[in-house]
Structure 1
Amino acid sequence: MHSAQTLQELLNTAHVAPDVFELRPDYRALLIAVDGLVPEPSDEAGNALLEQAEASARAALSQQKVEHLPHVAAWREAYQAFGAKPNRTRNSLEALVRRADAGLPRVNRLTDLYNAISVLHQIPLGGEDLASYRGAPRLIRATGHEPFDTVASGEPIVEYPDAGEVVWCDEDGVTCRRWNWRQGRRTQLRDDTTSALFILDALEPMTTEALLAAGKDLTKHLLLLGPEVVTAQQLLQSDVHAPGQ
């Protein structure tokens, strides 16, 4: 089991490439690493949180279309900036909000938790199995040669991102394509996950205060998922362009 210090040392080496900040100087990432999780199936606490998230999404969508929600709109613009089509490849927040009216998926209590927090705080939020991770998280603009382990038509395959695409990766390849669109098979959360990495992505108009509040809410719930849970976090942002507060 990792200690909080070991988790923090890993996060301290996380990196966002300068050309990503050139694309969006307002980008911030909050990374939260956690260990000591006790795997459990979906439960009543998670269901209640998902029901709150569904109600929150319905209330938001009663006022405006999903693509006009401020943070969703910002991410659609960011996707267009590196050549992705936001109507075809939706960021993870938009994809979840669009599902909320019909009911968010119930997977296991860890996945249920971070999906609920994503919708409640209107923020793209990805989860990776830390035991399958190799080295530190890095957000880069792809060359097009980085392998991405995924599934197509029910069969495992290796794909490659487009050149210039914004991707999260580790030493073994891409872990999430198009910033926060689709996570890979190799590092996906599983029913037996005990250590995880969560990535919360923010663009203006989301403030850093709101980003940290979402991370605090996620951490509060993660600490309830086992008697020996430990966490660490790291905020990544541009040194040149201070984000709005």
Structure 2
Amino acid sequence: MNISINQSLFTMNDQFKIGLIHYNKIVVAESPQMIKGRTQLYQEHLFLDLQDSPLTERPGIQEWRKLWKFFGADPNRYRHSAESLMRRIAKQNYLTPFHSAVDLNNFFSLQYEIPIGIYDIATIQDPIEIALGDENTGYDGLNGRYNALTNILYSKDKLGAFGSPFVDSSRTAVTEKTTDALQIFYLRPSLSVDDCEQLLATAGKMFTQVNGGDFKVSLLSFHNQSTTY
């Protein structure tokens, strides 16, 4: 599987980075009580924090809003997924458990304040490219409607677009039948390479502690624009 970033993105921000974790031989099931409890407690603490300071001033949320706008999308109309999750929590509309892969994906997104997507590799046709959408880019999303991705980052394979930091497609959703998965981290450009690699390694270790299997980490950047699994 080859994964690359469209070079044009670096002309807009040469610090742009994408983190990748490839999981294989995982077992997706109901989240263990430990993960459910930890996620609930984290949301309750986050709710209290959000009462004292505006959500848009949190470093990760703020940085991604600026990047969103820089690429040409309206961050108030098309909120990235990490901000959407936090806005739910600010209203005490806490996330309910779904399954072990999605629950951890959401937990990482809240913890690191960045959009993250996870996809069933069995539904993807190589190669994968991360690019900027235009007026012809879009798909049927997990939110139950068609989502246009003009000026929004997205991932595509041979069949077309399948993921973005806005909302993911239903075509590549991870289910309890998934055994191989790809997780895409839309990292904060301000993070150093070392910090990004540490973040990915920590997330991969925690994910496989819950779901089993193995993982491999890659970091795409200006100096490393593609990788092969």
Q: Give the TM-score taking structure 2 as reference length.
A: 0.85
Distance across 1 between alignment mates of 2:199 and 2:58: 17
Q: Which sections of structure 1, spanning at least 5 residues, go unmatched?
A: 1-9, 241-245
Checking the alignment, whether the CA contact within 8 Å between 1:92 and 1:181 is kept in structure 2 is yes
Q: Does 1:150 align with 2:141?
A: yes
Alignment-derived partner of residue 100 in structure 1? 89
- 1:211-236 deviations in whole A, cap 9, x for unaligned? 32331222112222455x12112100
Distance across 2 between alignment mates of 1:63 and 1:216: 32
Distance across 1 between alignment mates of 2:50 and 2:192: 21
Alignment-derived partner of residue 4 in structure 1? none
5 Å matches for 1:186-201? 186-201=171-186
**1:160 to partner: Cα distance:** 5.0
Distance across 2 between alignment mates of 1:122 and 1:161: 21
Q: 1:44 to 1:57 in 2, by over 3 A?
A: same
Alignment-derived partner of residue 7 in structure 1? none
Q: Does 1:233 align with 2:217?
A: yes
Distance across 1 between alignment mates of 2:100 and 2:157: 26
Alignment-derived partner of residue 161 in structure 2? 174
**1:56 to partner: Cα distance:** 4.9
Distance across 1 between alignment mates of 2:113 and 2:157: 26
Distance across 2 between alignment mates of 1:174 and 1:134: 11
**1:138 to partner: Cα distance:** 1.1
Q: Does 1:31 align with 2:20?
A: yes
* Count of paired positions: 222
Q: Which sections of structure 2, spanning at least 5 residues, go unmatched?
A: 225-229
Distance across 1 between alignment mates of 2:157 and 2:130: 9
- Which of 108, 125, 134 is the aligned partner of 1:117? 108
Q: Does 1:48 align with 2:32?
A: no
Distance across 2 between alignment mates of 1:26 and 1:59: 33
Q: What amino acid sits opposite 2:149 in the alignment?
A: P
Q: Give the TM-score taking structure 1 as reference length.
A: 0.80
Q: Secondary structure at the match of 1:205?
A: coil
Distance across 2 between alignment mates of 1:151 and 1:222: 22
Distance across 1 between alignment mates of 2:186 and 2:131: 14
Checking the alignment, whether the CA contact within 8 Å between 2:22 and 2:217 is kept in structure 1 is yes
Distance across 2 between alignment mates of 1:61 and 1:212: 28
Q: Does 1:161 align with 2:138?
A: no
- 1:10-30 deviations in whole A, cap 9, x for unaligned? 2xx211111111122221111
**1:128 to partner: Cα distance:** 0.8
Please identify, of 184-193 and 204-213, the stretch whose mean Cα deviation from structure 2 is larger: 204-213
Q: 1:132 to 1:68 in 2, by over 3 A?
A: same
Q: What amino acid sits opposite 2:21 in the alignment?
A: I
